[in-house]
Amino acid sequence: MYNDTLGYLAPDSVQTIALQLLAADDNDFPGAFARNLLIASGFLDYQEPIVSESMLKSSRKGRYQWTNSRPISSVLKVFPNPAKDIIIAEYKTNNILNKALIIITDAKGSFIRSYKLIKNENQLIIPVENLPSGLYLIQLHVNGKLKESRRVAIIR
């Protein structure tokens, strides 16, 4: 290697040929390193390839049928997580609510409080400023049955 006009080390003609062969044949780290040396030395003008979706391999999802044990659409969303002052529980239930509750328990499963849900609403704002930091479980119960639950962290 020799110093070019700017004072940088540059490969000589034999090294340039070896680097070009390595860069052309190797797509891993040595090829990338050789390409970078050639680009920095001005011996290679490299354009980053643009990869479109049509150039990617197809996924296995098209060949296999996937099943989920839980429904994809969520009935209960809880945010923000982690929470500091309030938790917003957003729920989707039928308009015919006989008895719907949001129940809050701590990480050990101990009951903290419950809220009866109103028929025409889809959100409940829960103040949590009196709860200590930790993990809590927000549960949606409809007609006495657990529909869905979410974990939420409360931080101070």
Q: What is the pLDDT of residue 7?
A: 60
- The span from the CA of 35 to the CA of 38, in Å, is 5
- Give mean pLDDT, residues 130-153: 91
Q: Going from the N-terminus, what domains does the chain have, and what CATH number goes with each?
A: 2-62 (no CATH), 76-154 (2.60.40.10)
- The span from the CA of 103 to the CA of 139, in Å, is 5
**Distance of CA 122 to CAs 12, 89, 114, Å?**
72, 8, 16
Q: Is 88 helix (H, G, I), strand (E, B) or coil?
A: strand
**pLDDT tens for each residue of 105-139:** 998 889 999 999 887 778 899 999 999 999 999 99
| Cross-sheet strand order for the sheet of 123-127 | 76-79, 86-91, 123-127
DSSP-derived secondary structure for 10-77: E--HHHHHHHHHHHHH--SHHHHHHHHHHHHHTS----PPPPPGGGSPPPGGGTS----SS-SS-SEE
Over 70: is that where the pLDDT of 151 sits?
Answer: yes
**pLDDT tens for each residue of 57-83:** 555 555 545 455 554 557 889 999 899
pTM given for the model = 0.52
Residue with tokens 């003008």: 45
Averaged pLDDT of the chain: 78
- The span from the CA of 77 to the CA of 80, in Å, is 10
Q: What is the pLDDT of residue 2?
A: 56
Percent of the chain with pLDDT over 70: 71
Structure tokens at 92: 């989707």
Over 70: is that where the pLDDT of 94 sits?
Answer: no
Instruction: Give the total residue count for the chain.
Output: 156
